[in-house]
Amino acid sequence: MTNQAKGILYTLITVIMWGVLAIALKVASKEIDSPTIVWFRFSLAFSGMLVWMAIQSPKELKILYKPNWLIVISSLALAWNYIGFMLGIQYTSPSNAQVAIQSGPVLLAVFGIFFFKEKISRIQIIGFLLSLAGFWIFYQQHAGAVPVGQEGQYTKGMLITLTGAVAWAIYAALQKKLVLDYSVSTLNVFIFGLPVLLYLPFVNFSSLAHLSFGYWALLVFLGANTLISYGCLSLALKYLEAGKVSIIIVLNPIITFILMGILTWLEVSWIDGEHFSVLSILGALVALTGAILVVRKRKNPKEA
């Protein structure tokens, strides 16, 4: 298998994991507070990585007490991305948070322009404008459908999600640099480990003690989702250009939209249905199209 094929495969796995993730987080938030969910996700992912590293490369565990400062920043950024996305889902909905969080790949492309000296093209500028227009249409449509008195909560959720997107872009940009000097496993064992300590003071352990088997299974899935998705993302960035990875990742809200549409049609009781208007769907598609144009790799180096 070629490096490009490996990169695409790992990216697709990440997309599927993230497409389902938003829905799983929304269900979990009904019984468990956000910091506890985030802490558990990092804890399970870190435990898995720690066992793997202890068996395969114990010497590389020295990164836990001698990390590069860029790795520390990357870990802090991912820690905020998790809580930002989680709170965005809690205050809004899986589909709303998924659209807002896609500004992350767009910002990653921006970082590429400023920090990796990548040139911007007319197509990318058009993409930026489309993303802004599409997101505004989507926001206005859903804000207008929010029950009276909850408008502030919706706006708060969207703003928090956007800060999580900024944090993800910082994390991904640093990963692109760090994977040149460290193995994926070495990076992830620290990046997953630091947030375990950071969120520990905010964990509500009493809520975990009274969970049903179904919610425990959901928590385990969320932890496994973290381990699989970010492990695959790191590998994808190793084998494929950041721009191509971002293009594929931008499509993950489509999975969430389809699944939420099915669940809404089935009228399930365990998650609130989504209410999509023609304009909100159009806005989301325009925003995603713009994001794709922004992160796509230029074919003509002479393009202005």
Contact 295, 106 (CB under 8 A): yes
User: What's the pTM value of the predicted model, to 2 decimals?
Assistant: 0.83
Model confidence pLDDT, tens digit, residues 211-233: 899 999 999 999 899 888 878 88
The DSSP output letter for 57 is: -
In this prediction, residue 304 has a pLDDT band, given cuts at 50, 70 and 90, of very low
Residue of 290, 189, 188 lying closest to 235 (CA atoms):
188
Q: Which residue has the higher pLDDT, 296 or 188?
A: 188
What pLDDT is attached to residue 132? 83
What pLDDT is attached to residue 299? 53
Model confidence pLDDT, tens digit, residues 15-74: 899 889 999 999 999 899 999 999 999 999 899 889 989 998 898 899 998 888 999 999
242 pLDDT more than 80: no
What pLDDT is attached to residue 237? 77
The DSSP output letter for 303 is: -
In this prediction, residue 154 has a pLDDT band, given cuts at 50, 70 and 90, of confident
Q: Which residue has the higher pLDDT, 2 or 243?
A: 2
φ, ψ for residue 135, nearest 5 deg? -65, -40
Mean of the per-residue pLDDT values of the chain: 85
Q: Determine if residue 267 is left, alpha or beta; phi over 0 gives left, psi from -120 to 50 gives alpha, anything else beta.
A: left
In this prediction, residue 146 has a pLDDT band, given cuts at 50, 70 and 90, of low
236 pLDDT more than 90: no
Model confidence pLDDT, tens digit, residues 286-295: 888 887 887 6
**CA geometry: angle at 185 spanning 180 and 189, to 5°?**
115
76 pLDDT more than 80: yes
Mean pLDDT to the nearest integer, 270-291: 82
| CA pair distance 73, 107, nearest whole angstrom | 17
Mean pLDDT to the nearest integer, 111-117: 69
Tell whether the torsion through CA atoms of 267, 273, 275 and 280 is positive or negative: negative
What pLDDT is attached to residue 32? 92
179 pLDDT more than 90: no
Q: Which residue has the higher pLDDT, 268 or 246?
A: 268
